[in-house]
Amino acid sequence: MEAKKIAAMAETHYAQIAPHLYAGPVEGAANIHFAASLPNFLILESIETWDGFHSKILKKPIRWEAGRVLLPTEPGLGIELDEKVALAHPYEGTKLHLEMNDRPIA
């Protein structure tokens, strides 16, 4: 709901919205629905076309046509996580990919 409030404030100033995507297809599905609900939506950020592993981890991949994402028609976010694929690829790191480095990378 906070994102909707921000989008509404932006709309009053004729500003367009481009939802940021920093994760995979689950967040992407949420962004698709969010973007479809906005009158001031500009462009959708994605990780390529959510193909490769991102399509395998979903039972049905996010669909594209002519360079555009198609809104899912299934309930909820319109996606279903393939738990077998997720369990076969556990995260083995100790940090989130969003954490900052303690010094610049040279």
CATH of the domain at 14: 3.20.20.120
Closest by Cα among 66, 62, 63, 15 to 38: 15
0.85 exceeded by pTM = no
Q: Does residue 102 form part of some domain?
A: no
**Is 103 inside a domain boundary?**
no
The answer to whether position 37 is within a domain reads yes
In a domain, 8, yes or no: yes
How confident is the prediction for the chain on average, in pLDDT?
90
CA distance 6 to 11: 9
pLDDT, tens digit, 9 for 90 and up, residues 23-59: 889 999 999 999 999 999 999 988 888 888 888 999 9
Q: Is residue 55 part of a domain?
A: yes
Q: For the chain, what is the domain count?
A: 1
